Amino acid sequence: MTRVGLAATASYLPERWASAAEIAGLSGIPEDVLRDKFGLAGKHIAAEDEHVSDLSVRAGERLLAEQGLEPGEIDVVVYYGSTWKDYPVWQAAPWIAHRLGCERAFAVEYDNVSCGTPVALRLCRNLLVAEPRLRTVLAVAASRESYLLDYANERSRFMFTFGDGAVAGLLVRDGGENEVLATHTVTDGSLSLRVKVPAGGSVEPASEQTLARRRHSLDVDDPAAMKQRLDAVSHGNFMRAAEGALERSDARLEDVSYLCGIHMKRSMHEALVRALGLPLDRAAYLDDTGHMSGVDPLLALDRAARAGALAGGDLVLLLAAGTGYTWAATALRWGAFAP
């Protein structure tokens, strides 16, 4: 039976860090509300000339250097980060692979929203299981969505936590210490049109009018309706995703040792931690980065590993949700293949 391991992770965060006080000044939301309710101490902001391909390359370079890997050893490069990239109608993965020197690798583009990490792990695992000639997949993700925010638009205030950063993960066939187990996803397509950048696509092409009307930032068409719907289903769908991934991994909720989730409001985070039966210190909370699209869970895992928070045999749950709306979870057995 083919085993797929997560052999290494690495991350990159831009140098600039905007504090909650700075975001409060831009948005008009009191700093204590941002800290206590939104769960935001601050977030990183990419430089104006720093795009998702640049962020991804930095994370990928760090991983390769730390592991002493030659770029030519990589079989596949997968980009699974934000859909808002350097250019429209353009693939980041081939450019990232080229800049990393992974000239032997083929590129896969799985640009996604905030449910990215769990589903990307499923995709990469399935590639390695399905194709015996493949040995290594380098998965990278980045987000630069702080630049899509209009702090004057109160409809989009729940997104004011969006920050910038990147992460990379190395998946290997029949190797790596940490076994990638099963994934489960839940989708509610009725929420698909609630959150979007209204203009710039084929429905509403860019024009002088769309620019003048500030139609090129993230927006919510009916915040009250979206909140009502999410309040009714979000917690349950997070748990459905978690329970499904665990069941497929021959595990139970009580087996979970550590949670790596997306950044969300503090009350929702704490409710999920309680539902999983974990103490708060066994769940990562990215209050110093905010939310970075599909980056969050793998960044949380990278931090936990580097901090020595994970022990051999720990069952780690990577949990996420993304506009669309899809909830996803992947289970990981830490140190499963350790010598």
What pLDDT is stored for residue 185 in this prediction?
97
Please compute the mean of the pLDDT values over residues 231-252 and round it to a whole number.
Answer: 97
Pick one of 3.40.47.10, 3.90.230.10, 3.40.50.300, 1.10.760.10 as the CATH number of 4-176.
3.40.47.10
pLDDT at residue 144 in the model: 98
- The percentage of residues in the chain with a pLDDT greater than 70, rounded to a whole number, is 99
Write down the pLDDT at residue 17.
Answer: 98
Per cent of the chain over pLDDT 90 is 95
Say whether 324 sits in a helix, a strand or coil.
Answer: coil
pLDDT the model gives residue 320: 98
Residue 169 pLDDT grade (very low, low, confident, very high; cuts 50, 70, 90): very high
pLDDT tens for 171-206 read 999 988 899 999 999 999 999 999 999 999 999 999
Where do the domains of the chain lie?
Answer: 4-176, 181-333
Estimate to the nearest angstrom the gap between the alpha carbon of 171 and the chain centroid: 16
Q: How many CB atoms lie within 10 A of CB 198?
A: 17
Is the peptide bond prior to 12 cis by the omega test (within 30 degrees of 0)? no
Average pLDDT (211-221) is: 95
CA 129 to chain centre: 23
pLDDT band at 337; cut points 50, 70, 90: confident
Chain length of the chain: 339
Question: pLDDT per residue over 36-74, tens digit each?
Answer: 999 999 999 999 999 999 999 999 999 999 999 999 999
| Adjacency order of strands within the sheet including 106-109 | 106-109, 76-79, 136-144, 164-173, 4-12, 178-187, 326-333, 315-322, 256-261
Residue keyed to tokens 């994934």: 183
**pLDDT, mean of residues 241-245:** 98
CA–CA–CA angle 48, 145, 148 (5° rounding): 85
Residue 252 CA: distances (Å) to CA of 111, 239, 316, 333: 31, 12, 12, 13
For position 339, what pLDDT does the model report? Answer: 54
- What the block records as the tokens of 84 is 């808002």
Residue labelled with tokens 């370079």: 61
Tokens matching residue 87 = 């250019």
At 260-305, the pLDDT tens digits run: 999 999 999 999 999 999 999 999 999 999 999 999 999 999 999 9
The reported pLDDT for the residue numbered 246 is: 98
| Identical fold, 4-176 and 181-333 | yes
Residue range 229-243: average pLDDT?
96
Top-level CATH class of 181-333?
A: alpha beta
pLDDT over 90 at 33, yes or no: yes
Whole-number average pLDDT of the chain: 96
Mean pLDDT over residues 123-141, rounded? 97
Q: Would you state the pLDDT for residue 338?
A: 60
